[in-house]
A and B are shown apart, each in its own frame.
Chain A
Amino acid sequence: MSTLTLPDPAAPCGRRPARLRHELRAVHALVYRDLLRLAGQRTHTALMLLHPVLYLLILGGGLAALVPHGSLGVGYQTYLFPGVLMMTVQMPAITVGARLISDRERGYLRELLMAPVGRSTLLLGCCLGGTLVATAQGAVLLGLAGIVGLPYDPSLLLLLLAGMILVSFTITALALALAVTLRRGETFHMLLGLVMMPLLFVSGAFFPLQTLPGWAHTLAGANPLAYGVDLLRRCISLRVPDQAAVAGIEWAGRQPPLPLEGVLLLASGALALLWAAHRFSRPE
């Protein structure tokens, strides 16, 4: 067979369905790349998973004896579980941003840009790949639900999975928005190192937001991670009412409805992605 024959001479590339199919294939290519990397780097994946497990078992186990049950409404490990799920998806999601920058530095991004698809398509592919990989890792952590005293109830697990998809998407989109504005990997990592810890502390993952000083509590109201943790925690209390922890996010003393939290996360992720796509599409 000749090397230089056109792939599909019958497919006119100008037509809209063909164009859409090409864009979808490009998205799939990037998601596929992420899955291949996930499958190929087992040690890396295992280490990424170990981190939240250690938090749950060591920090959770250690503090469980100290933190009185009544102050949280649930045992400390149960309280910590949504936060740990959030941490699990957060790491691979942020890795997507870091990889966009390293791809740019290594020249791989330019290869991607040569593909005959829109640049926003490429960014969408990165985002979906990151979301999928993050959710897959989070799903593994769901296996620990029993340790923290939660039932392996299919509807609870599905609800938590859906919540993690949403949180993964938002964090991936935010990481990508940051990554397209920064050219240097060092800056990205430094900024994350600076910001991630405080964001995590005012997310309600480790202790209730109500115990925070007033200004930090205000900060939590604008923290996407706080909404992520709150969403996951309320998913648990929705299915297992006797494991309902104290309230997280509150607007003027009232909890916002759960669907609204979900919509907020989705909207902020979508906005971040749109903005990133806009930045990314600017010609060099």
Chain B
Amino acid sequence: MTATITSPHAPHRAPESVYAISTRGLARSYPGPEGTVTHAVRDLDLDVPQGETFAFLGPNGAGKSTTIALLCALARPTAGRATVAGADVLTQPLQVRRQVGMLFQHSALDPDLTADQNLHVQARLYGLGRRHARERAAEVLETVGLTDRRGSPVRTLSGGMRRRLEIARGLLHAPRVLFLDEPTTGLDPHARAEIWKHLRALRDRHGSTLFVTTHYLDEAENCDRVAIIDHGTLVAQGTPLALKSAIGDDRVVLHTSDDVTAQQVVRRTAPPDRVVTVESEGVCLRVPDGSAWIPRLCAALQGHGIAVHAASATPPTLDDVFFHHAGRSIHGTQPGRTPKPTSPYPITAEAGGGR
């Protein structure tokens, strides 16, 4: 038991704790209405290495919060097992909770106490000694940039400040894994950027393992790895780049003076297995590393006397990845984006335009 309590920076570690989080067949189901069973999470296999920022991406109700509750030993899995920071969530729940920090989706502070008092109560709850609790409170307030508001009652703080204070509270007991459930929901863009600045600093400076759930695609994009969950099932996981390149290539569109002739030229220039089509916005081609192809294609077209009016290469987005695996967009069905199972790569212009 003592062996697992080492400094997070210790280079040597028991082999099973290479992963900060590891789950096998993790499942949680509830009895639903009329004898049915609701599967909140099913058959989840995850491995999150130490120091990684891991995004758990999915629409509302996909099972993200349930997964976090299971991993923090707040809820008991109905099947499977999970180890977090080297401790088993079923048999060592207290040890798990001692090692993890948590930022709930709807987090709560005591509004009548000051920032400092909230932190002190929390530090004592985690078993820190009085003096140590005060030191840590000062440190984490510094970390999230709230030192000057330490004496303010929480009800006088802005939403972004509260969220930062909540992150500070999660850091008090120096957790090895920090769970953040929708850390930026309901915040304005400035406050969101501020939160992410602090989260990235945590990862870079202290090598913290961050497990972030989100339905913001741009936030998932910034993480080391992404797992996509839908209806309680993991549909894909990997680096954002790998996920995107796995589903298809960049979409290159060339608007030319003579699209029909251009199609022939592009077909000869591009790799032989590529399909080149003429669509309303111009000649379309799906090819890896699309932007690198644009100058070559332009040169070839100009050699045939065809003028290129516009050229674009649109990389796939994580929404396209989600769309590919779940058959719908992450934020519900968007107009003009009906699932086309036959199309291997249903990307449209607005998907690229949002980036």
Q: Does A33 contact B (CB under 8 A)?
A: yes
Whether the pair B125, A25 counts as a contact (CB closer than 8 A) is yes
- Expressed in whole angstroms, the Cα–Cα distance for A212 and B3 within the complex equals 68
Query: What distance in Å separates the Cβ of B171 from its nearest Cβ neighbour in chain A?
Result: 6
Interface pair A108/B104, CB less than 8 Å apart: no
24 A-B pairs whose Cβ atoms sit less than 8 Å apart in the complex: A3-B174, A4-B174, A4-B175, A4-B176, A6-B7, A6-B8, A13-B1, A13-B5, A13-B98, A14-B2, A21-B127, A29-B125, A33-B117, A33-B121, A36-B117, A103-B108, A107-B104, A107-B107, A108-B110, A111-B104, A112-B125, A115-B122, A117-B94, A283-B76
Given the known interface contacts A8-B132, A117-B125, the answer about A40 and B113 at a Cβ–Cβ threshold of 8 Å is yes
> Within the complex, which residue of B6, B173, B205 is in contact with A9, where a contact is CB–CB below 8 Å?
B6
Please tell me if A194 contacts chain B, counting CB pairs below 8 Å. Answer: no
A114–B72 CB distance below 8 A: yes
- Beta-carbon contact of B126 and A107 below 8 Å: no
Shortest CB distance B34–A (Å): 22
> Is B79's beta carbon under 8 Å from chain A?
no
A155 at the interface (CB under 8 A from B): no
With A8-B132, A12-B5: A115-B126 Cβ-Cβ less than 8 Å? yes
Whether A239 sits at the interface, judged by CB under 8 Å, is: no
B164-206 CB mask vs A (1 if < 8 Å, else 0) is 0000010101111000000000000000000000000010011
Of B41-49, B135-143, B243-251, B252-260, the one contacting chain A is: B135-143
**Is A41 part of the contact surface with B, judged by Cβ < 8 Å?**
yes
Contact of B113 with A36 in the complex, beta carbons under 8 Å: yes
Question: A4-B206, A22-B127 given as contacts; is B75 within 8 A of A283 (CB)?
Answer: yes
- Kindly list chain B residues whose C-beta atoms are within 8 Å of the C-beta of A1: 135, 139
CB distance from A95 to the nearest CB of B (A): 13
Q: In angstroms, how far is the closest chain A Cβ from the Cβ of B114?
A: 8
Apart from the given pairs A4-B175, A25-B124, A37-B110, 5 other A-B contacts in the complex at a CB distance below 8 Å: A13-B127, A25-B127, A32-B124, A41-B112, A115-B126
How many Å lie between the Cα of A41 and that of B114 in the bound state?
A: 12
Q: Are B112 and A110 in contact (CB under 8 A)?
A: no
A126-164: CB near B (< 8 Å → 1, else 0) gives 000000000000000000000000000000000000000
**Quick check: is A211 within 8 A (CB to CB) of the other chain?**
no
A7 near B132 with CB under 8 A, answer yes
Smallest CB separation, A112 vs chain B (Å): 7
Give bound CA distance, A21 to B126, whole Å. 11
Q: Which of B57-111 contact A (CB under 8 A)?
A: 72, 74-76, 94-95, 97-98, 102, 104, 106-110
Question: Knowing A25-B125, A32-B120 touch, does A4 contact B139 (C-beta < 8 A)?
Answer: no
Mark contacts of A266-284 with chain B using CB atoms, 8 A cut-off: 1 yes-contact digit, 0 otherwise. Answer: 0000000000000000011
CA distance A112 to B110 in the complex (A): 11
CB of A9 to closest CB in B, whole Å = 6
**Which residues, 120 to 166 on B, are CB-close (under 8 Å) to A?**
120-129, 132, 135-136, 139-140, 143, 153
Which residue of chain B has the shortest Cβ distance to A9 in the bound complex?
B7
Bitwise interface map of A from 24 to 65 toward B, beta carbon under 8 Å scored 1, else 0: 011011101100110011000000000000000000000000
Are B112 and A37 in contact (CB-based, < 8 A)?
yes
Contact of A106 among B7, B108, B123, B174 (CB under 8 A): B108
Q: How many residues of B contact A (CB 8 A)?
A: 53
Of chain A, the residue at the smallest CB distance from B92 is A14
Instruction: Across the interface, name the chain B residue whose C-beta is closest to A24.
Output: B127
Shortest CB distance B231–A (Å): 22
Partner of B95, one of A3, A13, A112, A284: A13
Most interface-central of B8, B127, B205, B206 (chain A CB within 10 A): B127
The answer on a CB contact under 8 Å between B1 and A14 is yes
B263: Cβ under 8 A from any A Cβ: no
The CA-CA distance from A150 to B350 in the complex, in Å, is 83
The answer to whether B206 and A2 touch across the interface, beta carbons within 8 angstroms, is: yes
List residues of chain B with CB within 8 A of the CB of A33: 110, 113, 117, 121
CB contacts (< 8 Å) of A264 on chain B: these are none
Query: Which 8 residue pairs are nearest across A and B when measured between Cβ atoms?
Result: A29-B124, A22-B127, A14-B1, A4-B206, A107-B108, A115-B125, A116-B98, A116-B97
Structural contact, B112 and A40, CB atoms closer than 8 A? yes
B139 neighbours in A (Cβ, 8 Å): 1, 3
Are A284 and B2 within 8 A (Cβ)? no
B346 is an interface residue with CB less than 8 A from chain A: no
User: Is A113 in contact with chain B by the CB < 8 A criterion?
Assistant: yes
Asked if B207 and A4 make an inter-chain contact with CB atoms under 8 angstroms apart, the answer reads yes
Say yes or no for B314: interface residue by CB 8 A criterion.
no
Contact indicator B97/A4 (Cβ below 8 Å): no
Please determine whether A7 and B120 come into contact, CB atoms closer than 8 angstroms. Answer: no
B7 proximity list for chain A (CB < 8 A): 5-6, 9
**Bound-complex Cα distance A128 to B288 (A):** 66
